[in-house]
Amino acid sequence: MAKRKMILDLDTGIDDALAIAYAVGAPDVDLIGIISSYGNVVVPQAADNSLRILELLGATDVPVFLGEPHSSTTEHFDVMAISQQIHGKNGIGEVDLPAPKRAVETQSGVDFLIDAVHQYGADLTLVPTGPLTNLAAALKKAPDIATTIGNVTLMGGALTVPGNVSHFAEANINQDAEAANDVFTSDLNLTMVGLDVTLRTLLTKHETQQWRDLKTTAGAKFADIVDYYIAAYEVTSPDLHGCALHDPLAVGVALDPSFVTTLDLNMFVEAEGVDYGRTIGDPARLNDPTNVTVALTVDKDRYLKTFMTYLTTLFKKN
């Protein structure tokens, strides 16, 4: 049986790097490309980080594409100070990785996504872990992909817990609430892996020490990157006692939905006012067939065991 195909849409910071490692290390998926977005870093930096991580992992066959450089309603993007505090100015914990030998692709990330959906259809899974600008742009350019793509599992939003950039809004959705609303109210079948579950799924220095003990380059570099992330969380979220596995959890759920319990719901995203970026049930579609599956709880122990198995096995080789 052929492996399912996966595209990651990343603003490659630290947890995005872990998402790449999960997708490369998982035995049941073929990572066919990465689209770069903005958020933790600007788009060219995200692309460069993705290429460096792929090279570190020995996955130089995976192409990287540039996505949209800013939100659908602005003309420029600047990285927030809090993002630099959490991910480092270079996005990967100020860890220096060798310059990649592979260049960024010349085709746009939006066109790559559209072409891939047309080629693979139901066999394709998209995992956006940054703002939804690229996906919204692809839907606008080729509306048919909404009913053709196999699965979209996104990291973003919050339903049962407060946001992390405002009382209402999670960071990825807040970057471009208008685009997010276009996605949530489209014909796409979505799975939302939000703060409801990602804040329950934590990594500590106990795990990064296991990577150091491998005595490999990839193990040591990823330990350095994630220890930076853990130190940032000690300042911003000391009550968690670890760092949240936001983006790699979305990849995990895309491959194994049984990691989470869910609620089927029609949703919209508030795109104005004090609750800008809020992901909430749509009162105008309460009785309609639903298109969003929201993750509510997570089997964090089974997920972390799977996460560590995939990444540790991968790091042993590199």
What are the residues facing 4 on neighbouring strands? 29
275 as an active site residue: the answer is no
Q: Work out the average pLDDT over 118-140.
A: 97
Q: Does residue 233 surpass a pLDDT of 80?
A: yes
Structure tokens at 153: 């599992």
pTM metric for this prediction:
0.96
Q: Work out the average pLDDT over 183-199.
A: 96
Q: pLDDT (tens digit, 9 = 90+) per residue, 5-42?
A: 999 999 999 999 999 999 999 998 999 999 999 999 99
Please list, in sequence order, all residues whose beta carbon lies within 8 angstroms of the beta carbon of residue 186, skipping any fewer than 6 positions away.
Answer: 139, 146, 291
Structure tokens at 310: 């995939």
Q: What is the count of structural domains for the chain?
A: 1
Instruction: Cite the DSSP H helix spans in the chain.
Output: 14-25, 43-56, 81-87, 109-120, 133-141, 171-175, 177-184, 195-198, 205-212, 217-236, 246-255, 300-317
Distance CA 163, CA 198 (A): 12
Q: Are 57 and 218 in contact (CB under 8 A)?
A: yes
Residue-level pLDDT at 2:
58
What are the residues facing 65 on neighbouring strands? 35
Residue-level pLDDT at 219:
96
Domain hosting residue 19, numbered range = 4-317
Distance CA 10, CA 26 (A): 18
Instruction: Quickly state the pLDDT bin for 118 (edges 50, 70, 90).
Output: very high
The mean of the pLDDT values for the chain is: 95
Structure tokens at 141: 């350019």
Distance (Å) of CA 149 to CA 81, 116, 118, 185, 251: 36, 9, 8, 16, 16
Instruction: Quickly state the pLDDT bin for 84 (edges 50, 70, 90).
Output: confident
Q: What share of the chain is helix, strand, coil (3-state, %, to 5)?
A: 45, 20, 40
| Residue 177 amino acid letter | A
Instruction: Characterize the bridge pairing of strands 267-269 and 124-128.
Output: unpaired
- How is residue 273 annotated by DSSP? S
Q: Residue 132: helix, strand or coil by DSSP?
A: coil
Least trusted range by pLDDT, from 72-86, 155-169, 193-207, 224-238: 72-86
Q: Residue 88: helix, strand or coil by DSSP?
A: coil
Least trusted range by pLDDT, from 2-11, 15-24, 127-136, 234-243: 234-243
Residue-level pLDDT at 86:
87
Instruction: Characterize the bridge pairing of strands 151-155 and 190-193.
Output: parallel
Q: Work out the average pLDDT over 169-178.
A: 95
For residue 33, the surrounding DSSP H or E stretch is strand 29-36
What distance lies between CA 52 and its chain's CA centroid?
17
Q: Work out the average pLDDT over 264-280.
A: 95
Q: Does residue 284 surpass a pLDDT of 70?
A: yes
Which CATH number belongs to the domain containing residue 204 in this structure?
A: 3.90.245.10
b vs e for 64-73, b when ≥16 Cβ sit within 10 Å of the residue's Cβ? bbbbbbbbbe
Structure tokens at 206: 């106990």
Please list, in sequence order, all residues whose beta carbon lies within 8 angstroms of the beta carbon of residue 308, skipping any fewer than 6 positions away.
Answer: 207, 210
Distance CA 195, CA 295 (A): 9
Q: Are 309 and 256 in contact (CB under 8 A)?
A: no
Which residue of the set 9, 11, 15, 196 is catalytic? 11
Nearest to 153 by CA among 278, 38, 23: 23
Distance CA 119, CA 105 (A): 18
Distance CA 267, CA 181 (A): 8
Instruction: Map tokens 């490309």 to a residue.
Output: 33
Q: Does residue 3 surpass a pLDDT of 90?
A: no
